Chain A
Amino acid sequence: MVADPDAFNVLLVCHSHTGRALLAERLLRPALAAQGFEADAIRVTSAGLANELAAPAAEVVEALEAQGGAAGGFVARSLDAGIVAEADVILALAPRTRDSVVDRFAGAAHKTFTMAEYLAWDQAVNPVVPLAEHPVTLNHARSAANEAPASLAELGPKEPQGAEQWSLEASQIAGMVRQLVQVWMPLAPASARVTPSYLPAHSVVTVALEALEVPIDVKCSGEGGTALARSLAQAWSRCGRADGSGELEIHIVIDHREANREEANRAGRMAFSTVAEALHALSSLITVHAINARAGELVMIHAAGIALPDGRVVAFAAPSGTGKTTLSNALGKAFGYVTDETLAVRRDGSVLPYPKPLSVVQPGSGMKAQVSPDEAGLKVPPAELRLAAVVLLNRVRDEQVDARATVAELLDGLVELAPQVSYLSRLDSPLRTLANLVQSVGGVQIVTYSQVDDLSDLVPGLVGRAAA
């Protein structure tokens, strides 16, 4: 049954607490509510670095109200270790504030970002992970990178002065808040949103899918509901479900009118203006809902999976945005296509196929097109699948190298693999479970390559290390 994760705790921090963090908190809360989030599902609080805290200035309150927020009941507070410990993610409003938080609370470095930095890394990586794992995933990308994403646009180092500057600042923060909500929307658990209620004049078309053996009904409605249902069934052609009712329901409205979308949001439905936007969001939404439902039961690796004719599966693990779909598209024509996103393994080593659509990046667009594996000409794998190799991909982009595989020492391999495993901590004896799985297939292999086409010849050798 569906896991019911705790609330996702968001902490917003600025120096004074009565300026930028106040604005962000009081804009984010209603923005989440307007998208149908339950009040306690994503818990938004704020604090300041300063020890001496004043009341909010009138121009800050005016700027907030002009953006539709309200400062009623606000009480400033100073950041302390207890507040930091409660947070799942700490979003500082400026780089200097983030640095001060990390200086004072070094153990929180992995979950502390500026708001702009958090958004920029999401845009760069676009990870399909449960909301609870989103900050850890972005931190992993940040730690591995040599430079900040190109899209990073921070607020200025100093808080604004005067009504006009505060008005501009509030507008900037409101924009970032809207982006945050869009990022979190498809990653939040089903329980985070209000239960969809009846909407008059909405005919509903249901698409019955199955993801990681979780039956999911996608209920499409609005002016574009039928078109969405048709496109969804086509793109998810290998995940269709013939019978039975859904364990989870996802309600989507397609309507070009903003007022209608807002009404749908209030009624607990997600709403988009186009079918393409909805398909893009649904790819993450369906995957994350399935992962949430199977937390603690399956080892779920962020990996592309391809299968040999005898059912032996190679898991190519890599963070989002590093070529899993390209690899699946290339190797899936020669071998069986298992998944391009989440490779799920049972305790006995058998693999659950998750042949979702390929999520193909569209140049110049923030969205990914959803291409059916049938349309892409990918092979159907055998019915019985078994994990035979776990591979971490190391792509060398700036020079041509011969593709090669090496085996990592156990702990070195596990520490690299662990960030690519969803809900690792929910498994029984998580590290031993992961170690046993990895050892059963001969350890974690690191594959270094330049061109994805070079990997094809490597595949038979990768599976040779698995225990009989």
Chain B
Amino acid sequence: MSGALKVVASVDDALFHGGRALILVGSQVMLLSELSAEIVRRASVPLAVEELASQLAEIFGPPPPGIDAMGQVEGLVGDLEAAGVLRRS
């Protein structure tokens, strides 16, 4: 994924509660983990993945040693994109 690309949330409705989120995409309702919920919340405006990773690190702290934060965020973003929750901007 190129650093120049931005992602933006593409959900029809969202309900945030207790850190997690319930989202509606078309007729599909999905429950998001705290990390994914925060991605959707942050991506309410177009955001570069690098910026997203940086913001998530501020909230959740740095990943354990040996874990690539950027790679982890890219993986989550890819999953959310495949599910129609995020789209490229």
- A residues near B (Cβ < 8 Å) are 106-107, 110, 132-133, 136, 409-412, 414-415, 418-419, 424-425, 429-432, 435
Q: B12 — which chain A residues lie within 8 A by C-beta?
A: 425, 430
Q: A106 — which chain B residues lie within 8 A by C-beta?
A: 82-83
Contact B15 A411 (CB under 8 A): yes
Contact A425 B26 (CB under 8 A): yes
Q: A430 — which chain B residues lie within 8 A by C-beta?
A: 12-13, 24
Known: A424-B24, A425-B24. A411 touches B83 (CB 8 A): no
Interface of A is mostly: helix
Q: Could you write out 16 A-B pairs with CB less than 8 Å apart?
A: A106-B82, A107-B83, A110-B28, A133-B27, A410-B18, A411-B15, A415-B29, A415-B30, A425-B13, A425-B24, A425-B27, A430-B24, A431-B13, A431-B23, A432-B15, A435-B17
Q: A435 — which chain B residues lie within 8 A by C-beta?
A: 15, 17
Q: B83 — which chain A residues lie within 8 A by C-beta?
A: 106-107
Q: Scan residues 26-51 of chain B and give those whose CB is less than 8 A from a CB of chain A.
A: 26-31
Contact B28 A431 (CB under 8 A): no
Contact A136 B15 (CB under 8 A): no
Known: A414-B22, A415-B22, A431-B22. A424 touches B82 (CB 8 A): no
Known: A107-B82, A107-B84. A415 touches B15 (CB 8 A): no
Cross-chain contact of B15 among A409, A412, A425, A431 (Cβ < 8 A): A431
Query: A419–B20 Cα gap in the complex (Å)?
Result: 19
Q: How far is the CB of A291 from chain B (nearest CB, A)?
A: 14
Q: B26 — which chain A residues lie within 8 A by C-beta?
A: 425
Contact A132 B82 (CB under 8 A): no
Known: A409-B18, A411-B22, A431-B15. A424 touches B29 (CB 8 A): yes
Query: A90–B23 Cα gap in the complex (Å)?
Result: 23
Q: B18 — which chain A residues lie within 8 A by C-beta?
A: 409-411
Cross-chain contact of B31 among A107, A411, A424, A425 (Cβ < 8 A): A411
Interface presence of B53 (CB below 8 A): no
Interface presence of B56 (CB below 8 A): no
Contact B24 A412 (CB under 8 A): no
Q: A415 — which chain B residues lie within 8 A by C-beta?
A: 22, 29-31
Query: A121–B20 Cα gap in the complex (Å)?
Result: 32
Residue of B nearest to A429 (CB): B13
Interface presence of B69 (CB below 8 A): no
Contact A424 B14 (CB under 8 A): no
Q: B13 — which chain A residues lie within 8 A by C-beta?
A: 425, 429-432
Query: A435–B22 Cα gap in the complex (Å)?
Result: 10
